[in-house]
Amino acid sequence: MKLDRTLVREIKTLIGNGSREAKFAALKRMDAAKTDLSATKVRDTFTYCLREHGRAVVAICVAVTLDARKDRLGYWGWRWAREVLSLLPQNIITPGNLERARIEDGIHPTAICDYAGSFIRFTTEEE
């Protein structure tokens, strides 16, 4: 599994130099994306969220959610999620910060496969 180079570059830009200011700026953007993604109508608004918040922020939120739901999803998308999360520095992947990015859409846990599936396929390169 290999992530799209553009997505990797976008995530690294989001994280910045790893400073405290860059960390809080990234967390603020993840909070905003999580708020928009944590709606029962997320199937209809997912594309809007990608445009509004950016692919990197949405990718992190989706990755955190997939990682949290891996047992319920039969590990669908988990390799992609681990690749995305591996790009984050240690000061961001604390349990509390990951909780801030987890999508709570209130619909069935497997619905993420529907609304984020094409995004995951689009951001994955063939090896």
pLDDT tens-place string over residues 38-94: 999 999 999 999 999 999 999 999 999 999 999 989 888 999 999 999 999 988 888
Q: The domain containing residue 50 runs over which residues?
A: 2-125
Sole residue written with tokens 């860059």: 22
pLDDT at residue 126 above 80? no
In this prediction, residue 123 carries a pLDDT of 96
Quick one: how far is CA 71 from the chain centroid?
A: 18
- How many independent structural domains does the chain possess? 1
Q: What is the mean pLDDT of the chain?
A: 93
Cβ density class 75-91: b for 16+ within 10 Å, e for less:
ebbbebbebbbebbeee
Q: Tell me the percentage of the chain whose pLDDT exceeds 90.
A: 76
